[in-house]
Structure 1
């Protein structure tokens, strides 16, 4: 620890006291060597901790590093004396690398899309969290000091993530009970805040007094805003009021996370002889959270303490009356909320024709939802490439080369998957071909080839996978049909394709009714015209504008438009659906 550094965290105080103890020991020749050694070991452990955490944590981005350098080199005392800030802001309040990386990690882990920060200071924590938000994510930072927004904004503008941050200036809550802004009222309020009675401070307080009565949190609550994560690092004596407001007004969603900084406050929250007002307020806050049945929490001894609080789903409390009907609608099927019911964790899936296009998109979707995915394609290289993509995303996968028009390939495909993963829960029979020719010119060779893959191959896959599923009493089969099963797409001529896909729908309906009472659901997806490289080939490109004129949505389907459907049909959320043809075509079949 630097000689001129002021201790601010429990560990820093421990180091300070150990250094003082070491000085005493060194000046006393009668101290036993064993005590000296143990004292030095304790000092080494305590003094080396913070530095080691910094070395072993992910390094900050350049915008964060620049913001930190700007923050620590700034003369905050001078800024306050010049009347630019309401408070005298201590440099110890600045969030550092390790704290920033923890906040960033929590945003990632909670999969937060919307974050609320109460108390921004120089914006290091806000930018750290913004870096973990998705592109459409948003962070709203509540800050009382206009100066701090101007201080941080140039760095936010340099970062590709700064656009996610919106800084709202003003009081987060009514922290002072204020009325008409008299000199007496201002003096009392300044004394409460331990602030000098300077002209600039009077000016700021009068602005606060004259602000409309609704504060930032009240405005957010009034518009029904909800956040996935809230970070509180503001006036510590008001922590309990921020916390109560967030939960009482549902600003935090179920399973949302609140992170509260400085909750160990120099160790004063647990030192019995501490009479510090802030320490007492934080001790009361910690105890209140501990006793609150709406949440579960843990204090992490990072720097000056970080409390992580999760809002838990509601459960009825003994001796309480409520009109709520605590059934599966309320608590979720098997205790799972609706999005959790779409998860495929632990499931084994395969996708045929997964080397490209729709099949590749299906494979990624099923894997992202938690399934292990076998990539089936005639082209082993393409299958391996997609399997590699899934591996890079942390998804278990395998590549299998198979021609689904050949019964021996189909059976080997099933056997290989069962041999590796023990079973099959989800069969996504997507492989298909399309050949265009006028009906009078359609050859038996074209007809047979199309039916061998599109209908006969799909049937063989359904049958082979179905035998595994029927034996275990559970399975989801999803076949890829086509909008061509409902209408005759034009102006292209594709008799064999249209007829084969109509057969896929009837195959799906028949199996769906036969097997549902044995635990196997069979459904199909009928995409419209999907924007793939084939569509932009020389032979089909002239047809695109004609197709677009027939589609109410005004565009072709993207493979990503189909991903949620395959996850839904593969999940427990669709257990009551079978034999259904799920049409996704931008409204084209309606015209």
Structure 2
């Protein structure tokens, strides 16, 4: 069928009023845009059918109906066409669901009810739910009505490794049907299938202490209201969580009802109850057979109830619209810091003496959609410290967070430490940190806001052994005192200065060193956690120190060393 013509064939002069605005047509039915110019596909279809109803000839009526058919019939296929495709395994599961002999299964006594292939959610709805899981960063998902698990698997794919979809269904056979596909996905640890009446299954999960970021209702329509009340009245939806309701339009029967329609009546009652529930806000989306997204409203109270600045606890860790600068960010700990701050929302200046390494990290960040630039700088040079700050402000529009991480460690016993090694260590680890703070502080003090985090070391609390590193230990102890002194001088001027002291971190510097790698087994015997730190262990700490969640922390040395300093 040829592409439909534009929705209005009236001359432009007939579509506009004397002021140049669109002129509403007399008798425009409810649902058509108020200007008379239909915008949405449904408005276009309504407009075309209205024309067909008042057509003056068979050709005119047929033409309008054909156009309406093209718009209506092409909608769902087009939405699937332009949406991201599901995984091959989900497609395989959809095919198996659509081709399964459900009538035979019921006749053989495998299923309690006569299941229908139309109950399969399909790829578009699965992708929609997967996107919701990603957007909300959900870790615990309830699905009431699993059927063959296409949506279950789609949502599980978006969860972190420790996340879980609790998929409920009353049919034991469906757990058997889905098991091979869940196992094949390798995500079976993210999926827990619970068989039985949904209200009883929800109660069992609640007794285990399970709460949900997202609850998806797609089961018996007459049970929706009961499930919703059970979830809301018992606080099983976490703060900021949502309830997603499928089939909320019930094929249009909820707003264009037939004479006797028990299921449509149940959905209509549910929709009306939720829309009048003062605890929540709801938005109805005409995706497939309708999806409602129900969100708990913010509550009133002091800042402990509402959140500081109306931000919940997780939002206070966000760094959206902030700009961060990290020295020594071309590898190791600094690279991990760059990714952490970028993922939290900040734009990132990756500073390193090696421009090529900085550019490699920037490529990684930009691959994740993080705005970032690479800057070559030697922080032992005052002019480079000033330039890296100026280039960051010019390129990224400001500076709010500075992580002074660049450093070196030259192992040698005290009697063998050369003047050259001592000076090089203090020049970078101590002087470089101070001069970076000076350059950054010039911006922060002027704007009366800034977060400075200096990288110190566990060596500020003990003397690491058996390696000998007097220059390193002394230089990092000085970093802590620089941090404390600046914190006291600048705290009442809007600048927070803190430092972070990692333990022994498993980096290439250690694991590829012929002198340090043999010491790993001895280090492990000194650490209660029984392992070296990974760079990922430090990432959440740097986000905390960089965010407004740490606004009252000044001059603190945040130690992350697996307990090594306690033994």
TM-score by length of 2: 0.89
Q: Show the counterpart of 1:553.
A: 529
Of residues 78, 86, 89 in structure 1, which corresponds to 2:115? 89
Q: Provide, for residues 387-429 of structure 1, a one-character-per-residue CA deviation record: whole Å limited to 9, x for no partner.
A: 1111011111100000000111111111111111232111100
1:272 is displaced (CA, Å) by 5.2
Q: Does 1:427 align with 2:386?
A: no
2:518 — aligned with what?
Answer: 542
Shift of 1:386: 0.4
2:544 is aligned with 1:568: yes
User: Is the partner of 2:133 in helix, strand or coil?
Assistant: helix
Find runs of 4+ consecutive structure 1 residues off by over 6 angstroms. none
CA positional deviation for 1:313: 2.8
Q: Give the direction of change, closer, same or farther, for the CA distance of 1:46–1:430 in structure 2 (3 Å limit).
A: same
Counterpart Cα distance in 1 of 2:548 and 2:192: 39
Residue 390 of structure 2 corresponds to residue 364 of structure 1: no
- Counterpart of 1:98 (choices 113, 124, 147) is 124
Residues 487-527 of structure 1: CA distance to partner in whole angstroms, max 9, x if unpaired? 11122221111111111111000000000000001001111
Counterpart of 1:517 in structure 2 is 492
Per mean C-alpha deviation after superposition, the further-off stretch among 464-473 and 154-163 is: 154-163
In 2, Cα distance between the equivalents of 1:377 and 1:48? 53
Matches of 2:389 and 2:125 in 1, distance apart?
49
Residue 223 of structure 1 pairs with residue 208 of structure 2:
yes
**Cα displacement (A) at 1:169:** 0.9
**Structure 1 Cα separation of the partners of residues 203 and 423 of structure 2:** 68
Residue matched to 1:197: none
* Whole-Å separation in 2 of the counterparts to 1:452 and 1:269: 74
Question: Which residue of the partner structure matches residue 15 of structure 2?
Answer: none
Q: 1:141 to 1:406 in 2, by over 3 A?
A: same
C-alpha RMSD of the superposition: 2.2
1:269-326, Cα deviation, whole Å (9 max, x unpaired):
01155431111111110011101121111111112111111223323xxxxxxxxxx2
1:65–1:422 Cα change, 3 Å: closer
2:429 and 2:476 in contact (8 A); partners too:
yes
- Please give the per-residue CA displacement for 1:203-224, whole angstroms capped at 9, x wherever unaligned: xxxxxxxxxxxx1111122222
In 2: Cα distance, 1:542 partner to 1:151 partner:
52
CA distance in 1, matches of 2:414, 2:185: 59
Name the structure 2 match of 1:310: 295
| 1:268–1:274 Cα contact (<8 Å) kept | no
Q: What's the secondary structure of 1:427's corresponding residue? A: strand
**Quick check: 1:236 aligned with 2:221?**
yes
- For residues 403-460 of structure 1, what are the alpha-carbon distances to aligned partners after superposition, in whole Å with 9 as ceiling and x for unaligned? 0001111111111111112321111000011112221222221111111101111000
Question: How far apart are 1:548 and its partner, in Å?
Answer: 1.6
Tell me if structure 1 keeps the 8 A contact 2:147–2:174: yes
* Conserved 8 A contact 1:352-1:359: yes
Q: Is the contact between residue 257 and residue 264 of structure 2 (CA under 8 Å) also seen in structure 1? A: no
Give the structure 1 partner of residue 256 of structure 2: 271
Q: Does 1:530 align with 2:530?
A: no
Give the C-alpha shift of residue 532 in structure 1.
0.9
Match of 2:307 among 332, 339, 361: 332
Q: How does 1:102-501 map to 2 (within 5 A)?
A: 102-173=128-199, 215-271=200-256, 274-315=259-300, 326-501=301-476
CA–CA separation in structure 2 for the residues paired with 1:94 and 1:235: 14
Q: In structure 1, how many angstroms separate the alpha carbons of the residues matched to 2:564 and 2:257?
A: 73
**CA shift for structure 1 position 551:** 1.5
1:295·1:311 contact (CA, 8 Å) conserved in 2?
yes
Once the two structures are overlaid, the 10-residue window that deviates more, 330-339 or 456-465, is: 330-339
Aligned match for 1:578, one of 539, 554, 567:
554
Local SS of the residue matching 1:263 = coil
Distance in 2 between the 1:525 and 1:217 partners?
43
Per the alignment, residue 61 of structure 1 pairs with 87
Matched with 2:13 is none
Q: Which runs of 5+ in 2 are unaligned?
A: 2-40
Which residue of 106, 128, 151 maps to 1:80?
106
The answer to whether residue 10 in structure 2 is matched with residue 35 in structure 1 is no
| Partner SS state of residue 141, structure 2 | strand
Distance in structure 1 (CA, Å) of the matches to 2:342 and 2:75:
39
How many residues align? The count is 523
Is residue 281–residue 297 contact of structure 2 (8 Å, CA) maintained in 1?
Answer: yes
Paired residue secondary structure (2:114): coil
Greater RCO (Cα-Cα under 8 Å, separation 6 or more): 1
Q: Following TM superposition, by how much is the alpha carbon of 1:162 offset from its aligned partner in structure 2, in angstroms? A: 3.6
For the Cα contact (< 8 Å) 2:99–2:117, is it kept in 1? no
